[in-house]
Structure 1
C-alpha cells in the first residue's frame, strides 16, 4: 500500500500548478516505478480499488500496456496466465468505460496475446467473454479493432520474426472469417445502435488494412451492400466512407477480384448525382471525393481499357477537382498524376481523356485566382494559399504531360488575351492566374518551341503594371531563360522589363526582378557580355535604391556573365567590379570616427557582394591573368587593417574570413608569400577576440598549403596551431564546451587538417595533450557537427599508422607513437567514459560506426587498460540509459573479445549495447501519463 500511496502522491503533482522541477521529479519517479517489478501488483490495486481517482486508474492501465511491451520478462512463465486473467478482470470492470482505460487494457491484452503462445485462441476467448452481452459488445469490437493495428504497427513488442509469423497466423489469419461473420451479425442485430454500426465499420477497416479479410469473402456478406447504404446516414457517413475506400483498395488485384469489382463500380457510379445533391455540404463532398479517387486510382487500368464504362468515375473526380473548397480539391491530385503517367505510356489517347484534362486545366487556372480582396486573408491563410498554388502547378504539369506543353501554354495565353481585350477594367486576377500557370508549366516546355513561348515573350512587355502581374511575368522570364538563350533577340526587351522591375516600389517585384536577372545571366551569359557595361552603370545608378537581397541577385548575374568571358577580359571586368567594393572597405577602415550600425551593415553587404562574385567565378586557373597578378597583396593590404580594426565584431569578422577563404581559392599559390602574415594575423585576432572564424580560416589555410615544404610556412603553421590551442585551453578554463560550440568545432576541424598534413607539428607539440582533452570534452556537446569532428580527431589519433609497426616506417613514427600512448594512458579512462556516455546518450545515430572503430582500436592497442577502464565506466552509466543486464553482457563480450584477441567481435558487443540503450531511452521519452 505504500507504493499505491506514493503513486497517488506523484500523480497529484500534475493536477495542480507545479513548477518545472516538481514536474520533472514526479515524472522521473513515475518512470522508474513503471520499470519496477512491483508495478504489476500495484497497478492491479489501483485499477480495482473503487476509491482511486480516474487519473490513477488511467495511469495503471497505461502502465500495464507499457510493461507488457517492455517488461514481460519480469513475470515468470508460470504466472503469465494469471496476468492474462488479471487484465481480463480489469477489462470486465471497465467494459462500459471510460473508453481510454478500456483502450489501454485492450492494447495490453493484444500485446500479451502476441507474446503468449500457450494462449491457444485469444480471439475466441474474447468473443466468449464479451460478445454475448450487448453491454460488452462495444468492448469486444474495440479489442478486435485494435488487435490488427497493434500487431502490424507496434514494432516495440519483443518477438522474433518467426514468432511473429506463427502468432499472427493464430491471432489474425485463422480468425478472419470468424470476425467477418461476427461483424455481419452485429450489424443486423435487433436493436443495434449507430454507435455499434460505426464500430463495426472501424473494425472491418482495421482487418481489411491488415489484409486478413479478402474482398471476395466480404462480398459474400451483407457488409459490402450495407457499407454503401450507410452513406445515406448522417451518423454513419464518415465511417462508411472509410470502409468503402478500404473495400475498393482491397480489390486492387483486378483479375482476382473482377466479380467483386462488378458489384462495386455500379454502386460508386451511382453516387455521382450526390455531388450535385450535396454541393453545399463540404463534408459530404469530401467523403465522395475520397471514394471516387480511390476507385479511380485502384481501377486505373480498367479506365484505360474500358474507358466508356468507367469514365463516369473520371467525370465525378473532375467535379470534385472543380469544387470551390480548396481543402477538398487536393484529394484528387494524385489520381490525375498517376492517370497522366499511364496515359503517357499509351500510343494513342481517348478523346474523353483529352477533354477531361483540358477541363482540368481550366479548373486549375480558375483555382489559381487570388481572392478579389486578398487583404482579407490572414497571414497564415495567405501563405497556405500561396503554397497550394504551387501544388496546383504540379497538376498543371500533369495536364501538359497529356495534352502537350504547347496546348497548355496557348490555353493560358488565350485566357490572357481574352482578358486584355475586355478593356482596362479587367481585374488583375484574370491575368495573373494564367501567368502563374505558364510559370508552372515551364518545366514541360521544349526550349526549341518556336510558337507558344514566342507569343508569351511578345506579350509580356504589354501587360498591365500591377505589381502582382509584373511579379508573375518576371518569374516567367526566370523560368524560360533556357528558351531565351536559344532566341537571344528577346534579350534587350527582357532586360528592359527586368530593369523596370527593380524600380517598382513593391519589394516582391524587386526580388522577382533579381531572380529573373540572375537566371537570364546564368543561362544566357555568352549573349550578355556586351551588356556588362550596362549592368555596371545600372549598379552605379540604382545600387543605393536596391535592397541587399536584390543586389546579391545582381552580383550573381554579373558573375555569370564574367565567367563566360575570355580570361583576360573576365579578369579586367572582375577587377572593375571588385575595386568598387575594395575601395569601400578601405574608406570604411580609414574613417576616423566610430561607424554607425547602418554603416557597418553597408560594408558587410558590400563584402557579401564580392563574396557572391568570387563564389561563382571560383578561379581563373593556375596562371593568373595580368590584371590579377598583383591584386592578392593589394587586397591583403586593405583587408588586414580592416580585420585589425573590426576583428572583434562577429558579423564583420565572419564576412572577412569568408572572403579570405574565397581569395585563397581564387589566387591559389600566388598567396604563398603572404600566408605567414595571414596566419599570424589570424592567430593574433583569435587570441584577442576568441572569434571562431579565425581558427576556421587557419584550418582552411593548413588544408590548402599543408604539403608545401617552405620553412616559413611550416613555422607559421606551428605558431598558429600552438597559439590557437593555448587560447582554446584558456577559453575552456573559463567556459564549458556547451557555451562555445562554434569555437570547439572550428578548432577541431583545424586539428584534423594538422593531423592530415603536418602530424609532426601535432604529436611533437606541447599542445598535443590540450588537443586531446579538447576533443574529449567536445563529446559532451549536442551539436552533431562538433561531435563528429571530435570523434574523427580521436579516431585519427588512436588509429594512427605509427601505432602499428611495419617495415620502412618514417623515422618520426616512434616519437609519434610514444606521444599518443602517453596521452591515451593518461586520459583513456575519461575517454572511454565520454564515448560510452555519449553513445548511450545524445550522440547522433550516424556516429555508431566511428564509435565502434574507436572502441575496437582501444581494445586492440590498450587491451589491459581497457579491461580496467570498462567496469568503472559502466558503473557510472545510469541504469535508465543502459539497463544493468545490458552492461554486464557488454562487459562480458568485450572481455571475451580482448582475451581471445578477436577484436572484430567488439562490433557486435557495441551493437548490442546500442540496441539495449535505445530501447531504454525510447521508453523513457514517453511520459508515464501519455497514452
Structure 2
C-alpha cells in the first residue's frame, strides 16, 4: 500500500476504500481488518523499498484517515469473535503517534474495551498490547509528553495497578504474568520523569516495580532493570533540576528526592543481589546456559551500580556486607560447604568498588580481615582475588593497608595455584596492586620477582596461562618504573631474562630449529618483552635493553619473516621499544628499519608498515633522519602500490591496505615535507581510488581517512606549504574521486560506512568549493532519473553547497542519507546506480 498513492484508491484513500469494501462484503471483514492492521506497520517496514518522500506522504495519508480507521474498528467491536483482531489493529494504529486529544482517547470505546479486557482469558494478550502502546503513546515527545496526556494517564494507571495481585498469583500462567510485568515496566520507563518527583502516587508505581523485581523468575524481574537505571539518571543528573533555578534550590530538591527513593533502592539491592549466586549444577551448565548466567551477573552488577549512585557506595556496601556476614558461617572447608551465598555477596561488593570511597573505614577493614578466613574453593577464591584487585586503591589509601599486604599476597599466590580462572584473577589483582601502590612496593621487589619467575618459568604449582602472565609482567614493569635509573637498568635486565633466555636457547640450536619452531614457542616470550618495553617507563634503560636484545630479534627477523604471527609479535615489541625510548634508540632504530625495509620486499608483512608508522611518529620531524625516512617511505609505498593494483588485491590483502594508508596518514601529519614532494604521492592517491570500495571495514576506513587528510591539508599547521602539490595531483583525478565517493554513498559500500564516506566527500567539497560542486553535479547527473528524482538530486547538491560554505556536516546528513537510501531501495535500483557510476573504472569521466 505504501507504493500506491491515495488517489489511486479512489475518493479518500485506502482506509475509505476498506470501509466501503467492508460495507459491501461483510463476509470478508476479517481479511479487511488484517489489512487495516498492517497498514501502519508498512510505515516502519524498511524492507519495503519506498522513497523517503513517499514514505512521509504515506504517514500523512494514514494520519488523515485516523478517525475513519478508529470508527471502523469501533464498529467491529460489536462482533465478539473479532474483538481480539480489532484490539491488535488498534495497537498497530497507535504506533503512528498521531495527535488525538487525550480526553477523547480516555473515553474512547477502543481504550475502554482494552482496559476492561485485561482480565479476560481470551483478550488479555491483545489488551496488554493496546495498553502498552497507549503508555508509549502518552510519553511521546511529539504529542506534548506526559504532562499533556494526563487525562489518558489517569485512566490507564489505576487499571494497570489493579493487576498487581496477579503478579503474586502462582496459579497464573507464566506468560500472563510476563505480560502484566511488561505493563508495569512500560509505565516505569515511560513515566520515569514523573515518577522521579517522588509524589505519593508515583511511589505506588515504584512499589509495584519492586514487586516485579522480586519475582522469582529472572526474565520477569529483569524487566524493571532499565527503569531503575533511568530513574537513577533522573535523580542524579543536574539537568533534571534546571527548572528549580538557583543552586540552593536545585541541591535541596535533589536531596529531597534522594531521600524519598532511598528505601526503594535499599530494597532493590537486597532483591537483586542473590541472583548472581552460582547455581548448584554450575559445573553441568551448557555453553549457552553458562553464557546466560554470566550475562545475568553483568546485568545485576549494573543495577547495583545504579543503586550505589543513588545511595552512595558506602551505604550500598553496608547492605552487601550484611549479606556476606550472614553467608560466612555456612562456608566450611568440607564437601558440604555452602560457599555460594558468600561468593555472591563478594561479587556484588566487587561490582560497586568504583563507588566506595578510598577513605571508607568502617566496613572495608572488616572485609579485608575476613578474606583470609574464607575456604579456598576455586570460584570463591577467584572472586576473592578479583575483590582484592578491585579495592587495590582502598588498600593503598587505608591507614592500615600495609598490614593487610602479607595476607593479600598469600591469597593471590593461592589463587595462582588453584585453577586457571583463579590464577587469571590473581595475576590481574597483583597488577592492580602494583599499579596503585607503585613506589611503596619497591622494597618488596625481590618477593614479587620470585612470584613472577615461578609463573613465567612454570615452576611449582602455578597455573598462570601465558596470556595472564602478561599481567605479572606489567606489574613488575610498573614497580621498576619507580626505581632510580641505575637500579632500574639492573631490574629491567632481570625482568627480561626469563623471556630472553628461551629465545637465545632456540637460536643457539641453529637455523633449522629456529625455522621449525612453532610460532607459539617464540611469541610467548616476545609478547612478554613487548609488555616490558611498553610499561617500563625508563627510556634510556629500555633503549639499552633493546640494543642488547637486538641480535636475537634480528635472527628471528631473518629466519621467520614468512611467519605472520611471529612477525606481528616481534614488530609489536619493537614498536613499544621505539615508543618508550624515543630518541634514545639511536643506532638500533636504524638497524631495525633497514631490516624491515629489506624483508618487506620479499615477505610483504603488514606489521612492517605499522612498525614504520611508529618510527614516523617519533622521528618524522627530525631533520637528521630526513634522508633515511624518505628512502624508507618511498621503498615501502612503491612496493605496496605494486601489490595493490586492482580491487581483488585489496580484498585478498586488506591488512596490507589498512596499514599502508594508516602509515600514509601518519606521514601527512608528521612528515609532510617528505611525503608530498615524494614520487610515491601520486601513485598512492591512484592506489586509494582503486581500493575505496573494498568491503573490509578497517581497510576502507583507512583509505577514506587518508583521502580526507589530503583534502583537509589546509587545516594542518604545515599544510599550506604543500597545497599546490596536492592540487596538481587531486584536480586531474577529481572527477573520478568524486564519482567513486558518490558510488560508495549509493551502494558500493555498506550503509554502515555512510558517515566516513560523507566526511570524505564533504572535505573534498570544502577544499575545492565551486569546482567540487561542478564535479558533483556532473557525477550525480549520471544517475538515471528512474533511480533518483530531480528533487532528491537537488537536495543532495544543496547539502554539498552548504558544506562548501562551512555548514556543520552533521546538519547536512539527512539529504545524503536519503540519496543513499533511495539508491539502495532494492537490488535492481542499486545495480542501475552502480552501473551508471562504475566505481571500479578509474577514468570513466573527464570533468574540466
TM, length-normalised to structure 2: 0.80
The alpha-carbon distance between structure 1 residues 518 and 597, as it changes in their structure 2 partners (threshold 3 A), is farther
Which of the residues 755, 761, 765 maps onto 1:851? 761
1:842 equivalent to 2:760? Answer no
Q: Equivalent residue for 2:560?
A: 646
Give the superposition deviation at 1:460.
0.9
Q: Report how many residues are paired.
A: 783
Which of the residues 471, 489, 509 maps onto 2:422? 509
CA deviations over 1:418-469 (Å, ceiling 9, x no partner): 3332463342222222122212232332221111111111111111111111
Contact kept in structure 2, 1:779 and 1:834, CA below 8 Å: yes
Q: Equivalent residue for 1:409?
A: 317
Give the superposition deviation at 1:755.
5.1
Give the superposition deviation at 1:789.
4.0
1:459 equivalent to 2:370? Answer yes
Which of the residues 527, 542, 547 maps onto 1:608? 527
Structure with greater Cα Rg: 1
Q: Which moved more, 1:398-407 or 1:430-439?
A: 398-407
The alpha-carbon distance between structure 1 residues 673 and 887, as it changes in their structure 2 partners (threshold 3 A), is farther
The alpha-carbon distance between structure 1 residues 436 and 296, as it changes in their structure 2 partners (threshold 3 A), is same
Q: Equivalent residue for 1:547?
A: 465
Q: For structure 2, list consecutive stretches of 5 or more residues without a partner in the other structure.
A: 140-144, 237-252, 459-463, 832-848
1:138 equivalent to 2:50? Answer no
Q: Equivalent residue for 1:744?
A: 657
The alpha-carbon distance between structure 1 residues 507 and 832, as it changes in their structure 2 partners (threshold 3 A), is same
Q: Equivalent residue for 1:192?
A: 80
Q: SS at 1:273's partner residue? A: helix
Q: Equivalent residue for 1:33?
A: none
Contact kept in structure 2, 1:585 and 1:642, CA below 8 Å: no
Alpha-carbon distance in 2 for matches of 1:722, 1:249: 61
Give the superposition deviation at 1:914.
7.8
Contact kept in structure 2, 1:589 and 1:645, CA below 8 Å: no
1:594 equivalent to 2:518? Answer no
Q: Equivalent residue for 1:921?
A: 824
Q: Equivalent residue for 1:664?
A: 578
Which of the residues 382, 386, 392 maps onto 1:471? 382
The alpha-carbon distance between structure 1 residues 356 and 737, as it changes in their structure 2 partners (threshold 3 A), is closer
Contact kept in structure 1, 2:507 and 2:514, CA below 8 Å: no
1:246 equivalent to 2:133? Answer yes
Give the superposition deviation at 1:628.
5.8
CA deviations over 1:708-734 (Å, ceiling 9, x no partner): 333xx4443343334334533553479
1:483 equivalent to 2:373? Answer no
Q: Equivalent residue for 1:84?
A: 9
Alpha-carbon distance in 1 for matches of 2:417, 2:828: 55
Give the superposition deviation at 1:790.
3.7
Q: Equivalent residue for 1:371?
A: 279
Give the superposition deviation at 1:634.
2.7
The alpha-carbon distance between structure 1 residues 280 and 493, as it changes in their structure 2 partners (threshold 3 A), is farther
Q: Equivalent residue for 1:15?
A: none
Q: Equivalent residue for 1:774?
A: 687
Give the superposition deviation at 1:379.
0.8
Which of the residues 73, 79, 86 maps onto 1:183? 73
Alpha-carbon distance in 2 for matches of 1:878, 1:861: 20
Q: SS at 1:736's partner residue? A: helix
Q: Equivalent residue for 1:41?
A: none
Contact kept in structure 1, 2:746 and 2:830, CA below 8 Å: no
Contact kept in structure 1, 2:766 and 2:805, CA below 8 Å: yes
Alpha-carbon distance in 1 for matches of 2:268, 2:760: 54
The alpha-carbon distance between structure 1 residues 309 and 647, as it changes in their structure 2 partners (threshold 3 A), is closer
The alpha-carbon distance between structure 1 residues 749 and 340, as it changes in their structure 2 partners (threshold 3 A), is closer
Contact kept in structure 1, 2:578 and 2:589, CA below 8 Å: no
Alpha-carbon distance in 1 for matches of 2:87, 2:137: 17
Alpha-carbon distance in 1 for matches of 2:233, 2:771: 59
Q: Equivalent residue for 1:390?
A: 298
The alpha-carbon distance between structure 1 residues 699 and 483, as it changes in their structure 2 partners (threshold 3 A), is closer
1:325 equivalent to 2:217? Answer yes
Q: SS at 2:513's partner residue? A: coil
The alpha-carbon distance between structure 1 residues 337 and 655, as it changes in their structure 2 partners (threshold 3 A), is closer
Contact kept in structure 2, 1:180 and 1:218, CA below 8 Å: no
Contact kept in structure 1, 2:641 and 2:683, CA below 8 Å: yes
Q: Which moved more, 1:763-772 or 1:722-731?
A: 763-772
Alpha-carbon distance in 2 for matches of 1:503, 1:738: 46
Aligned pairs (5 A) from 1:217-236:
217-236=104-123
Q: Equivalent residue for 2:461?
A: none
CA deviations over 1:15-44 (Å, ceiling 9, x no partner): xxxxxxxxxxxxxxxxxxxxxxxxxxxxxx
Contact kept in structure 2, 1:320 and 1:328, CA below 8 Å: yes
Alpha-carbon distance in 1 for matches of 2:599, 2:314: 61
Give the superposition deviation at 1:644.
1.6
Alpha-carbon distance in 2 for matches of 1:887, 1:686: 51
Give the superposition deviation at 1:278.
4.2
Q: Which moved more, 1:740-749 or 1:535-544?
A: 740-749
Q: Equivalent residue for 1:203?
A: 90
Give the superposition deviation at 1:404.
4.5
Aligned pairs (5 A) from 1:760-799:
767=680, 770-791=683-704
Alpha-carbon distance in 2 for matches of 1:444, 1:679: 47
CA deviations over 1:808-846 (Å, ceiling 9, x no partner): x98x998x58xx848975x77766665554454434321
Give the superposition deviation at 1:264.
4.1
Contact kept in structure 1, 2:456 and 2:466, CA below 8 Å: no
CA deviations over 1:175-195 (Å, ceiling 9, x no partner): 44x5545434322x1x420x4
Q: For structure 1, list consecutive stretches of 5 or more residues without a partner in the other structure.
A: 1-63, 73-79, 86-118
Aligned pairs (5 A) from 1:590-739:
590-592=508-510, 593-595=512-514, 600-618=519-537, 620=539, 624=540, 627=541, 630-710=544-624, 713-728=625-640, 730-732=642-644, 736-739=649-652
Q: SS at 2:622's partner residue? A: coil
Give the superposition deviation at 1:606.
1.6
Give the superposition deviation at 1:314.
4.0
The alpha-carbon distance between structure 1 residues 598 and 232, as it changes in their structure 2 partners (threshold 3 A), is farther
1:270 equivalent to 2:155? Answer no
Q: Equivalent residue for 2:242?
A: none
Contact kept in structure 1, 2:97 and 2:137, CA below 8 Å: no
TM, length-normalised to structure 1: 0.73
Q: Equivalent residue for 1:216?
A: 103
CA deviations over 1:128-160 (Å, ceiling 9, x no partner): 332565433334434544444545777975576
Q: Equivalent residue for 1:127?
A: 19
CA deviations over 1:182-230 (Å, ceiling 9, x no partner): 434322x1x420x433433441463276143444223324444432332
Alpha-carbon distance in 1 for matches of 2:495, 2:449: 8
Give the superposition deviation at 1:655.
1.5
Alpha-carbon distance in 2 for matches of 1:179, 1:644: 78
Which of the residues 327, 335, 352 maps onto 2:227? 335
1:526 equivalent to 2:439? Answer yes
Give the superposition deviation at 1:610.
2.0
Q: SS at 1:231's partner residue? A: coil
Alpha-carbon distance in 2 for matches of 1:351, 1:417: 27
1:172 equivalent to 2:83? Answer no
Give the superposition deviation at 1:853.
4.2
Alpha-carbon distance in 2 for matches of 1:774, 1:350: 60
CA deviations over 1:509-541 (Å, ceiling 9, x no partner): 111112211222222223322222211111222
